[in-house]
Amino acid sequence: MIKLSVNVNKVAVIRNSRGANVPDVLQAVDVCIQTGARGITVHPRADQRHITRADVLTIARRLAPLRDSVEFNIEGDPRPDWLALVHQVKPHQATLVPVTPGEVTSQAGWSEHTAGDTMKATVRKLREAGIRVSLFVEPQPDPIRWAKQMGADRVELYTEPYARAFERGGAELEQTYKKYIVAAELAHALELGINAGHDLDLDNLALFRSLPHLAEVSIGHALISRALFVGLENVVKEYLKVLGS
């Protein structure tokens, strides 16, 4: 069964645009869980433009009694304050994502040229703390082999290239999706779990869910955007139905 982890960052974006606590991120977390999502994802950035440190701590407390049934995934670049927060909270999973200064959203996964010594040490310390480590990578053989060398438990395949190819369709979609299949098969052969995320939505997920060995998808922007029109409970149900959960 493919797990749906709902990224609630965009709820915090709306809240932060006005101040106070409306909409309540914690209420969004509750609705997602009560509707059947088995994962919650957050990405606390250095500028705190959406999810804040306080949000992470509050969500962690809410999820603590549900630890056996709902996973908490914290994404982010491995800067010192992010690492300290992750080690404090001890989520089920830490997803390490490269960040480019000034970016609006993630633009790429880690490449095989990323310095290895620091990453290996970071991954090792997280795993020693009992935290599963996923590295956000390009869907290509070399970055996946690099992730294995870094000691990761999983890779999260960067899916924006797939989403753009899906929009165009035809031979481009077929060729692009084949690259993801090759990437997934390699990761599985290397005993890496497989997650995926970035620009997945109800339309393109209908194909992507057939990716071999796929364990988890993390979806935020498309899910929360649709929830504005049909409601969060309804849209979580829609995604669970597509995933066959």
Residue 8 contacts residue 29 (beta carbons within 8 Å): yes
Question: What is the rounded distance in angstroms from the CA atom of residue 202 to the CA atom of residue 225?
Answer: 12
Check 50, 71, 156, 198 and give the catalytic one. Answer: 198
45-74: burial string, b at 16+ Cβ within 10 Å, e else: beeeebbbeebbeebbebbeeeeeebbbbb
* Catalytic residue status for 221: no
Count Cα neighbours of 203 within 13 Å in the Cβ-side half-sphere: 11
The DSSP line for 178-219 is HHHHHHHHHHHHTT-EEEEESS--HHHHHHHTTSTTEEEEEE
Other CB atoms within a 10 A radius of the CB of residue 76 amount to 23
* Catalytic residue status for 188: no
Only one residue has tokens 């409970």, namely: 233
Check 75, 138, 156, 216 and give the catalytic one. Answer: 75
Question: What is the rounded distance in angstroms from the CA atom of residue 193 to the CA atom of residue 214?
Answer: 8
* Catalytic residue status for 113: no
Check 43, 50, 71, 156 and give the catalytic one. Answer: 43
**Which residues form the catalytic set?**
43, 75, 198
